[in-house]
Amino acid sequence: MNITITEVGPRDGLQSEKSFISTERKVQLIDAIFASGIRCVEATSFVSPAAVPQMSDAAEVLKAIRRPEGSIVSVLAPNVRGAHDAIRAGADELVAFVSASPTHNKKNLNRSIADSLTNIERLAELASQQGVALRAAIATAFGCPFEGNVDVKSVVGIAQAFAGMRFQHVTLADTTGMATPGIVRAVCANVRSAVPEARLALHFHNTRGLGLLNVAAGIDLEIAEYESSVAGVGGCPFAPGATGNVCTEDLVHYLQ
């Protein structure tokens, strides 16, 4: 089985850094990641600069990076305005997300889950019109820092809504590192049963040191796509106690 890694460090890793990192340094980081052989990078996010100041130079970053043949540059786009800006800046793929936990979704996006799905439907229409790839992500798919356990029916319902919008690529994200291999197997099995055509990717944080064990559970399920972060940097700024993502270097070593 061939495994695809999407490097999310430049976006998910840097977004919580309090000191602004220069555009030049961000570009150097992304260029170095591509030079290492990784071909899928989530480079930045097109969000309000007031909400996430670190990502205020998103367009400049996209225009300055070197893109090797076969590379995919994806960006987080939480709304139609951000999606328009990302497309103009040359994004290859837009990432739209919603939380399976109503509380986390409200704190993160200031919307209900239903309103978020309506917004994503508009994003899907725009991406289709512009010929840009679109990937969906379900945050807090394995647990919520505010609500605790997340009902798998909520994850399945969102996945089915994405299927209705003709999404084929769906990431299940362990936003705060609450997943265990057993939870991963249960959630993925339920999503696959409800939406068998979905192409699943997994995103784990390493809060409790179970990141690579959860990857192993995913591989046992023949899931072939994983998101990770260079040096393990990152952590959801709206999730108390969350630590970094699974470390890309560790993941590559493990897979090899």
User: pLDDT tens for residues 4-26?
Assistant: 999 999 999 998 888 999 999 99
Which of 12, 17, 21 is CA-nearest to residue 43?
A: 12
Confidence of residue 172 (pLDDT cuts 50, 70, 90): very high
Active site residue 188: no
Does residue 56 register a pLDDT over 70? yes
Q: To 10 degrees, what angle do helices 181-194 and 152-164 make?
A: 40
pLDDT at 240: 63
Distance CA 171, CA 98 (A): 11
- Residue type for 202, please? L
Maximum distance among all Cα pairs of the chain, rounded to whole angstroms: 45
Q: Can you list the domains of the chain with their CATH numbers?
A: 4-255 (3.20.20.70)
Partner residues linked to 199 by β-bridges: 169
Q: Which tokens is 209 given?
A: 């040191």
List the structure tokens of 40. Answer: 């899928």
**Cβ neighbours for 53, distance < 8 A, ≥ 6 positions apart:** 20
Sign for the CA dihedral angle at 218, 169, 72, 32 comes to negative
User: Which residues lie below 8 Å from residue 116, measured CB to CB, with a gap of 6+?
Assistant: 98, 99, 105, 109
pLDDT 10s digits, 200-254: 999 999 988 999 999 999 999 999 999 999 999 987 666 666 678 999 999 999 9
Cα(201)–Cα(52) distance, rounded to whole angstroms? 25
* Contact in structure between 37 and 50 (CB atoms under 8 Å): no
73 strand-pairing partners: 41
- Give residue 136's pLDDT band: very low, low, confident or very high (50, 70, 90): very high
Is the predicted pLDDT of residue 28 greater than 90, yes or no? yes
